[in-house]
Chain A
Amino acid sequence: MSLTPSTEPHPASVVIVGAGHAGMELAGRLREQGFTGRVDLLDQDSDTPYERPPLTKEFLTGPQVPHSPLRRPAWFDEHRITLHRHGVAAIDREGRSVKLDSGRTLSYDVLVLATGAEPRELPVAGGRELQTFRTSADAAAVRDRLVPGSRLTVVGAGFLGLELAAAARGRDVAVSVLTNESRPLGRLAPDVSAAVGRIMRELDVDLLCEARLVSVTRRGGITSVAVEGRPDVTSDLAVASIGVSPRIELAARCGLAVNDGIETDQWLRTSDTAIHALGDCASIPDPEVPGGRIRIESVPHAQQQARYLADRITGRTGDPFAMQPWFWSHWGTHRLNIAGFSRADDHLVVRGDPSGTAFSVFRFRPDGRLGAVESLNRNREHLITRRLLASGRTVAPEHAADLHLDLADALRG
């Protein structure tokens, strides 16, 4: 296997499966970079490609407005990008063509899988009775049912679940959040989880941890969630937000290497070098763990991969993809921002008062380098640390913990 990318110097056609944030950014960036060949985007979603992050925020809390399109409808024609509202029936790798479920066949020089992810189903009896939340149609269905005075149950205390809970409280809906984990946002620092718990209490969200869910039943418009050793939790609407699974079925069916995601090399090429994968569905080499893999669920990360790939397809770079992930969430007026990727064996250093709701947790890798920073209501620290990580610099743990020292000094050092 060659170690450098060997994309054909001037591919004549790019077919992109999935018109989410990754696929759309790739299509647009290809044109920005002067790509003149054919660009086809395939997506089964009936809505014009739209922004996902607002669906759990402004879309639920604001006035009854449509979701935000990623590009206006005329953009596709103006940029000669063909949006096919169809799924893929089969990929013919030898013949380099994709067969749509409409029966039509599209040839490709470069095929990109940006198939995203889909909500996991709660593995208990009646788990299918829970509303899922991923698409604009899901969001519209939830919004219609968030009636003041009604009750919402959210299963799962990750970013999505907590955002839903906060948005529902903003519409005067009573909210219970159930999680089988011992704390919300279990990947993050315990101090951050504890503060998020306080924020949820402040918002009057009933957060129940270590809840063993037994079954879900729906009768007469009421959903009951049975929890071991507790009274049933009943509500007018119950939503599952227990994470997502990458959509790998299409890749697996045509024989590409998959695990928890579609496997790529550091140039985002799958095991077939004419096919790439990016965004939520892509399992990329972990830059910090030799032989390891990592899959990142983040809109900015997906867009960064898309811009990188467009630059590579148009010959503007031959470098491997260098990830600089960041994440955000907000609940009411509270903001959580994360620079970098949190790992279980990080050494944690707190900057600020962790008993309040405005502080940062600096995460140092075992080798002492700064790896990630979780900032709660500390936007400026987040921005500085994101730049620190992007520039490959680090900061001494004692400097990070000392509020009297200006963090920006580390950027200049």
Chain B
Amino acid sequence: MTESNQQERIVHQADAGSVVYVSAGTAPRAVSVTQPTTAMRLAVEHGVPGIIGECGGQAMCGTCHVKVHDEYLGGLPAPNEEELDILDVVITDRDPVRSRLACQLPVTPETSLIVDVPDTQY
């Protein structure tokens, strides 16, 4: 399936080996995971708008904030202290449960994940 076909689908669930990025006002974007990486790098390398990753993925800048859809929260590692600091201090529209930094979310060809991308990272 081509990427553009995937983009046009209305997404209710993510296939194995894909991460779906949902932004207000545009179609959800499904990106296939071909090798282990993070949800931030995957988005940046594919040019998913709204995920910046200024610090290159060290949980230091807070420009890769996403909100994980509830049903996928269970499969993720808990945030460490550094990530919690960022979420606490930097993120202005934090969701107490769903907010994460995409750079701290490992993804593999077995992963399925849906995240909302906020309108702005600032």
A contacts, CB < 8 Å to B: 28, 31-32, 51, 53-54, 68-72, 75, 78-79, 299-300, 303-304, 328, 330, 337, 379-380, 382-384, 386-387, 408
Contacts and interface: CB of A to CB of B under 8 A. Distances in A.
A408 B49 contact: no
Contact of A379 (B44, B49, B52, B85): B85
Interface in B33-81: 41, 44-47, 49, 52, 54-56, 58, 60-62
Nearest to A81: B47
**9 nearest interchain CB pairs?**
A383-B89, A300-B54, A380-B85, A72-B45, A32-B49, A53-B56, A75-B47, A384-B89, A71-B45
A321 B58 CA distance: 26
Contacts of A384: 89
B89 A28 contact: no
B105 interface: no
B82 interface: yes
Contact of A383 (B47, B56, B90): B90
Given A72-B45, A75-B45, A337-B60, A328 B55 contact: yes
Contacts of A300: 54-55, 61
17 contacts: A32-B49, A53-B56, A70-B44, A70-B45, A75-B45, A78-B47, A299-B54, A300-B55, A304-B54, A328-B58, A328-B60, A379-B60, A380-B88, A383-B62, A383-B85, A383-B86, A387-B90
Contacts of B49: 32
B40 to A, nearest CB: 11
Interface residues of B, number: 20
A303 B44 contact: no
Nearest to A301: B54
B61 to A, nearest CB: 7
A68 B89 contact: no
B12 to A, nearest CB: 25
Interface of B: 41, 44-47, 49, 52, 54-56, 58, 60-62, 82, 85-86, 88-90
Contacts of B46: 71-72, 75
Contacts of B55: 300, 328
Contacts of A78: 47
A69 B53 CA distance: 13
Nearest to B54: A300
Contacts of A51: 56
B44 A71 contact: yes
Contacts of A69: 45
A386 B54 CA distance: 14
Contacts of A386: 90
Contacts of B54: 299-300, 303-304
B89 A299 contact: no
A71 B53 CA distance: 12
A58 to B, nearest CB: 9
B85 to A, nearest CB: 4
A120 to B, nearest CB: 24
A386 B88 CA distance: 14
A72 B42 CA distance: 9
Nearest to A326: B61
A358 to B, nearest CB: 13
Nearest to B85: A380
A282 B44 CA distance: 25
Contacts of B82: 379
A158 B88 CA distance: 31
Given A32-B49, A72-B45, A384-B89, 8 more contacts: A28-B47, A75-B45, A75-B47, A78-B47, A79-B47, A379-B85, A387-B90, A408-B89
A379 B44 CA distance: 24
Nearest to B84: A380
B104 to A, nearest CB: 13
Contacts of B61: 300
B2 to A, nearest CB: 11
Contacts of A68: 41
B79 to A, nearest CB: 13
A71 B47 contact: yes
A195 to B, nearest CB: 19
A7 B87 CA distance: 38
A337 B61 CA distance: 11
